[in-house]
Amino acid sequence: MFNPSQDTNVSSSVYDGRAALQELDATKSGVRGLVQSVPVIDLREVDHAAVVANVRRAAADWGLFQVTGHSVPQELVAAAQSMVRTLFHDADGGEGTLKGRLYSRDPNKAVRYNTNFDSFESPVTNWQDTLYIITDPEVPGALGELPKNGRVLWLRKTFEAHAGYLVRIAIRGTWPQGKLLGRHRLQSGPDMLACHYYPPCPEPEHAIGMVRHSDWGFLTVLLQDQIGGLQVLHNDTWVDVVPIPGAFVVILGDMLQMVSNDNFTSCEHRVVAKRTGPRVSIASIPTQAGSTRNYGPVKELLSHTRPPLYKETLASVYRKHCASIGLGNKGVHDFQI
């Protein structure tokens, strides 16, 4: 699971094998006890309060969990993945092609395709291409710029409807005081889809699919295919987010950490490169791009013993800051009071 050669931020301290064995011995749980697995929450569970409690626990302990038993039909999930893989990413690029026309590093373009949005800021180049689709019709040109391809529109609509629903469920569970997040209108539905593509990598031991990072927004809802490679950092260990057909992965982001005043922390995750593939994932990300609201620690959570830990900021300012420092650097530290 853990491969130091693929981690850019691993400290170079010397590994103490004997101490590790002593630690293992003390657990009395054997090697089986070393296997940690990402929480899976089944929404079909009839006891709604139990679902909310499970979401809350998973959010607090892991910052990431998988959701099954949702209402999104499996055929839609499979069709969305196949559309991204076959119709777009597997097609040739270059001058005169659809990919060539959409290739851009301008974050204001409603539909754009590129390799590593932060190629010129980040010290690491990921083994990954991405098609971005801004789905917020308020953004100038959002609909006009979509390729004349009904399936792209369909992908947008599918995710808007279903990811919005999942986000609401996740929000209900992830907030320590019930309805606060909804009341503060911290997150609506998704307004950007990032459709990632990781081709088979000839030298995975020398590459990374997507470098270790936390997401900048409130919550990301991610659909991954069966290839695997997504890992979450939990108790200093990289744990595989093992693909479950049709499941959505919910990932807590930096803005949630800031407004919750560290009641929740955004989780660090990465994607390891693989010889097998291509791998496809679709992340639905709320950008709050048009919001004129300053976000900071929610007042109801503060007291003289719990002062605010973060400055207030516009979501668009925070997002730009994260883009400027590149993936792999946690932007929240720069907004600490």
Ligand X SMILES: O=C(O)CCC(=O)C(=O)O
Interface residues with ligand X (CB under 6 A)? 194, 196, 210, 215, 222, 224, 230, 269, 271, 281, 283
Nearer to ligand X, 51 or 232 (CB): 232
Q: How many CA atoms lie within 13 A of 189 on its CB side?
A: 16
Q: At its nearest, how many Å lie between ligand X and the CB of residue 163?
A: 13
Q: Per 3-state DSSP, what percentage of the chain is helix, strand, and coil (rounded to 5)? A: 35, 20, 45
Q: Coil, strand, or helix at residue 106? A: coil
Q: At its nearest, how many Å lie between ligand X and the CB of residue 31?
A: 27
Crossing angle of helices 74-82 and 150-174, in 10° steps, is 120
Nearer to ligand X, 130 or 261 (CB): 130
Nearer to ligand X, 99 or 274 (CB): 274
Q: Which residue has the tokens 């929404």?
A: 43
Nearer to ligand X, 51 or 193 (CB): 193
Q: At its nearest, how many Å lie between ligand X and the CB of residue 207?
A: 14
**Calpha distance 283→134 (Å, rounded):** 12
Nearer to ligand X, 133 or 298 (CB): 133
C-beta nearest to ligand X: residue:
281
Nearer to ligand X, 194 or 325 (CB): 194
DSSP letters spanning 274-289: -SS--EEEEEEE---T
Nearer to ligand X, 1 or 337 (CB): 1
**Do residues 201 and 274 lie in contact, with contact meaning Cβ atoms separated by under 8 Å?**
yes
Give the CA distances from residue 230 to residues 33, 238, 330, in Å, rounded to whole numbers and listed in that order. 21, 9, 18
Q: Coil, strand, or helix at residue 171? A: helix
Task: Classify the C-alpha dihedral 174-176-182-184 as positive or negative.
Answer: negative
Q: At its nearest, how many Å lie between ligand X and the CB of residue 85?
A: 13
| The pair of three-digit structure tokens given for residue 190, joined into one six-digit string | 């998704």
Q: At its nearest, how many Å lie between ligand X and the CB of residue 280?
A: 8
Q: Coil, strand, or helix at residue 36? A: coil
Q: At its nearest, how many Å lie between ligand X and the CB of residue 79?
A: 19
Q: At its nearest, how many Å lie between ligand X and the CB of residue 298?
A: 24
